[in-house]
């Protein structure tokens, strides 16, 4: 697959909606079946069912702004998007005493795609583990089989001064972090807090199987082959047995099935340092769940604000979940200060990769670029003395929607 660049071709830069599909037996790695990555989206149609998960904090505000932009898009292109909200996170705990109720899961699974805002907040931080918003997010990923998370970090010319790093360090940065999402220490068992010899002992299990590593390595290999052809696998193989297995399997997959990709390995502590020291050395990064959780947030901040970056979580079948990289920002919730652009760009990813609407996706991306070109800024990307207009979340959504209705289509859409 090949896609033309625009502001948010920061998104995947040519990668498909990577869904691992089982192929006829082609055995390697002992008895493990070989898998292949391929585009899997619903066929283009006149009406789509999309589940919205507004979640917590600023979630309802950025969801409202995104709905406005999508409404303008549907009007212009003559198709329908049936947007139905469901509960997740703290809102679900308050309403149903469950961070991701079965009703929400069933609705997500029955949808063509899922658009998530954000979850969490101080209100629920002291709840028991099973009644915390993050538990609902983990449940959604596990139950929907969302094993791969794709997080782009591309520095935009319009916002280069918003980065806390020097221009010469971040100018031209375009990194994709491919994070495994349903394994590792977040899901490993046994886990818990027990009393041993009179004191509490907490423990988790950092665990991966060959097949889990194999399928994320194939996603990463496919991404890298359609970007710059470089893949850096991050681990801690010098001290962790699970990381040694990770390194062995990734090496085997990439060298055998992605010979055009230049593979390197880096310990996670060095990777964290190198992302700040010289981020332009990276093209595509693949890592396990906990390392990816940390490094993807670090990479995202290279661009100056998490409020600009979308992400996609995908699985072997069924709908994907598209969400901004940022959190729920409870400190500014309800104050009309949130930046909705990351969620709008997440909606563009959804259109591109789940709904088979590449033209509409590129127009939405172009509208975001045009808003930035017009000097419209939310507080998180506003710089002192930049001459730009400061707006709130609602007005930013309205500005994008207006441009969706007015601007010309991109000259070329390649698929």
Question: Which residue of the set 48, 186, 208, 353 is catalytic?
Answer: 186
Distance set, CA 109 to CA 17, 22, 49, 97 (Å): 17, 20, 11, 21
Query: How far is it, in rounded angstroms, from Cα 105 to Cα 313?
Result: 15
Active-site option among 49, 248, 252, 297: 297
Based on the residue annotation, tell me whether 337 is a catalytic residue of this protein.
no
Of 248, 293, 336, 386, catalytic: 293
Q: Which member of 236, 283, 353, 380 is catalytic? A: 236
Active-site residue flag, 267: no
Measured CA to CA, the distance from residue 177 to residue 27 in angstroms comes to 28
Q: How far is CA 111 from CA 41, 335, 371, in A?
A: 12, 31, 30
Alpha helices (runs of H) in 132-178, residue ranges in sequence order: 133-143, 167-170
Output DSSP code: residue 355.
S
Strand 199-203 and strand 192-196: the pairing is: antiparallel
- Catalytic one among 94, 194, 241, 269? 269
End-to-end alpha carbon distance in the chain: 6
Query: Where does 124-267 have alpha helices with state H?
Result: 133-143, 167-170, 210-225, 241-257
Tokens encoding 192: 């818990």
Beta strands per DSSP E along 144-191: 146-154, 174-180
State yes or no: is 269 an active-site residue: yes
Q: Which residues are catalytic?
A: 186, 236, 269, 293, 297
């Amino acid at each position: 697959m090949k896609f033309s660049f625009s502001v948010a071709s920061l998104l995947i830069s040519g990668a498909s909606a990577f869904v691992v599909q089982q192929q006829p037996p082609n055995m390697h790695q002992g008895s493990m079946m070989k898998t292949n990555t391929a585009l899997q989206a619903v066929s283009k149609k006149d009406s789509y069912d999309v589940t919205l998960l507004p979640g917590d904090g600023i979630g309802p505000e950025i969801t409202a702004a995104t709905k406005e932009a999508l409404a303008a898009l549907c009007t212009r292109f003559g198709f329908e998007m049936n947007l139905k909200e469901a509960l997740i996170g703290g809102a679900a705990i308050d309403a149903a005493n469950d961070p991701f109720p079965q009703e929400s899961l069933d609705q997500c699974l029955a949808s063509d795609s899922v658009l998530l805002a954000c979850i969490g907040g101080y209100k629920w931080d002291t709840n028991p583990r099973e009644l915390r918003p993050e538990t609902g997010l983990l449940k959604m990923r596990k139950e929907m089989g969302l094993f791969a998370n794709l997080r782009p970090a591309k520095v935009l010319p319009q916002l280069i001064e918003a980065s806390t790093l020097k221009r010469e360090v971040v100018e031209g940065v375009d990194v994709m972090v491919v994070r495994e999402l349903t394994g590792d220490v977040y899901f490993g068992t046994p886990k818990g807090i027990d009393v041993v010899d009179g004191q509490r002992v907490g423990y988790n299990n950092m665990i991966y199987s060959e097949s889990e590593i194999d399928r994320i390595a194939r996603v990463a290999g496919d991404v890298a082959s359609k970007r710059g052809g470089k893949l850096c696998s991050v681990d801690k193989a010098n001290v962790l047995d699970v990381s040694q297995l990770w390194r062995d399997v990734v090496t085997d997959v990439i060298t055998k099935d992605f010979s055009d990709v230049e593979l390197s390995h880096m310990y996670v502590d060095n990777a964290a340092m190198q992302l700040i020291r010289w981020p332009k050395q990276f093209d595509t990064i693949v890592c396990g769940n906990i390392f990816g959780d940390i490094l993807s947030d670090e990479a995202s901040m290279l661009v100056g604000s998490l409020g600009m970056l979308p992400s996609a979580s995908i699985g072997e079948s069924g709908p994907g979940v598209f969400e901004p990289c940022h959190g729920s920002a409870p400190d500014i919730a309800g104050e009309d200060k949130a930046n909705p652009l990351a969620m709008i760009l997440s909606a563009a990813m959804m259109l591109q990769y789940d709904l088979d609407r590449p033209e509409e996706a590129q127009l939405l991306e172009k509208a975001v670029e045009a808003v930035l070109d017009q000097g419209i800024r939310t507080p998180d990307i506003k710089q002192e003395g930049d001459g730009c207009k400061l707006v709130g979340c609602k007005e930013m959504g309205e500005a994008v929607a207006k441009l969706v209705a007015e601007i010309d289509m991109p000259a070329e859409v390649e698929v």
